Amino acid sequence: MIKNYGFNEPEEIEDKEWKLGRAGKLYQPNGDWTKYLPKEEFQITKKGAETAGCTIWGTLNAKEILLKRIFNKEYNFSDRFNYNVAGLDLGGHDPHDSAQSIRHNRVIDEELLPMTDTYEEFIKPRPMTDELLNQASLFPYELVHWWIWTKNDKLTKDQRTALIRDSLKYSPICASVTAWRKKNGVYVDDGRPNTHWCVIFGEDKKGWKVFDSYDQTIKILSFDHNIRYAKGYDIIEKPAVRKVLMDKIKDLLKAIIKILTKRVENLMENKMKIKHEIIKRHVPNFWETNNPKAIVWHTLRGNLWGSISWLDYVKLSYNYIIAKDGKIYEQVPPDKGGYHAGIVYNPTKRARELFGYENPNKQSVGISFVRNGEIKLTDEQVVSARYMKKLLNLDVDIAHWEITAYKPKEVEGYIKQING
């Protein structure tokens, strides 16, 4: 069975905005970035636990390589910081979204948030502390990125080869690869899907030279390897946002929020008076009995219908899904148990006390938000969530991660919004 190291194919490619072709400077006319490779970039914890964070590691590797080439300075950024800010989990991530998160949230040094022994330690803090976010905002160089090609381009081997050779003159390339099957001294895809996101930094007579952050090795990728996605990068200098200025902005925002809080509360109350329609789209995946003690809140990655199709395919279900526009979709009636929280892994004391050793699906109503890792719910989702709490007459809230420890932590913030 082929292993996925954390690469998820992008759901939608905005070709017009992100397919910019070559956009960098001519940094390496010979196309070889070997002497600028980063150090100590293991994708696993100190005790060998998987993080499925290849899209963060690969992208940061490319940024470190570029910075070393441009400024002749060695950087080692905290992969843990960007992993947690982007909201990654063991399900992997879209490399475009990872690059966008690094671009907007910047970076911090590894020593400020170093690698840990266990995965449970690695996924903290969430949400990220203001102190570390402020520190990251001071980093003066922003990552620029673009698609060199995607699966939609249907390139031939010769076209891919020409694009890689040309693009390597301007940037190290991050590419989706099939990891790892070796034949005749090179790594091949054998018709299997891409499962890893790595840096291509040059070539030799046999194939493309790849830096694998998982075990910090250099591998040779066959020229025939079916690379479905490839990205180029550049670095632009941005003035650092000074902490003093940020503090002033925060104080101003707090003052504005304090003045407007009452008005916002009134507006939200008025919205609550809107008659909500529950759109019933029942599925066959459920438990016949349910005695709800709490609402288990979840988050879905991707768009509404893509998520629903995925749930149908893997035979999972929620009692309700709340879309970004506040529309409520019922998959399983509340008197039946959805397939939403059946895997119990390292539960919190609160979860153990609430559900004991019984199946949580038969003791809860599962409600998921369509969010794709965003930190906050939309106003419409908050209104609909409050409406569902009143309708179900359930005051106890619990985030899915309290039952299954590796699930996304941003749900905790959603609960605070709902009850705020």
pLDDT tens digit string along 194-203? 999 999 999 9
Residue with tokens 């060695």: 74
Domains for the chain: give ranges and CATH numbers.
15-237 (3.90.70.10), 278-419 (3.40.80.10)
Per-residue pLDDT tens digits for 64-94: 999 999 999 999 999 999 999 999 999 989 9
How many angstroms separate the CA atoms of 209 and 32, rounded?
9
**Which of the four pLDDT bands, split at 50, 70 and 90, describes residue 270?**
low
- How is residue 131 written in tokens? 């102190």
pLDDT of residue 364: 96
State in Å, rounded, how far the first CA of the chain is from the last one. 46
Q: In percent, how much of the chain has pLDDT > 90?
A: 72
How many angstroms separate the CA atoms of 240 and 271, rounded?
40
pLDDT of residue 251: 76
Task: Tell which phi-psi region holds residue 346, choosing left (phi > 0), alpha (psi between -120 and 50) or beta.
Answer: left
pLDDT of residue 334: 96
Looking at the DSSP bridge assignments, the partners of residue 338 are 286
Looking at the predicted structure, is the pLDDT value of residue 184 above 60? yes
pLDDT of residue 185: 94
pLDDT of residue 264: 62
Residue 37 DSSP symbol: -
Q: How many CB atoms lie within 10 A of CB 369?
A: 26
Mean pLDDT, residues 308-312: 91
How many angstroms separate the CA atoms of 248 and 305, rounded?
42
Phi, psi of 201 (to 5 degrees): -125, 5
Looking at the predicted structure, is the pLDDT value of residue 156 above 80? yes
Alpha-helix residue ranges (DSSP H) falling in 195-278: 243-272
Looking at the predicted structure, is the pLDDT value of residue 119 above 90? yes
> 230-237 and 141-149: which strand pairing?
antiparallel
pLDDT of residue 21: 45
- How is residue 419 written in tokens? 């009850």
How many angstroms separate the CA atoms of 181 and 169, rounded?
28
Mean pLDDT, residues 365-388: 91
Looking at the predicted structure, is the pLDDT value of residue 265 above 60? no
Cβ-contact 49, 118 below 8 angstroms: yes
Handedness of CA 202, 207, 211, 216 (dihedral sign): negative
Is the pTM higher than 0.75? The answer reads: no
Residue with the bigger pLDDT between 205 and 153: it is 205
Cβ-contact 364, 296 below 8 angstroms: yes
Cβ-contact 382, 99 below 8 angstroms: no
- Residues in Cβ contact with 75 at an 8 Å cutoff, skipping those fewer than 6 apart: 38, 63, 64, 67, 68, 109
How many angstroms separate the CA atoms of 148 and 167, rounded?
8
Handedness of CA 78, 82, 87, 92 (dihedral sign): negative
- How is residue 239 written in tokens? 């003035």
Lowest-confidence region among 171-175, 243-247, 277-281? 243-247
pLDDT of residue 245: 58
Per-residue pLDDT tens digits for 9-52: 987 666 544 554 445 689 999 999 999 999 777 899 999 999 99
Looking at the predicted structure, is the pLDDT value of residue 277 above 90? no
pLDDT of residue 13: 64
Write down the mean pLDDT value for the chain. 89
**In the β-sheet with 278-280, what is the strand arrangement from edge to edge?**
278-280, 328-330, 320-322, 364-370, 294-300, 397-399
Q: In percent, how much of the chain has pLDDT > 70?
A: 90
Mean pLDDT, residues 293-313: 92
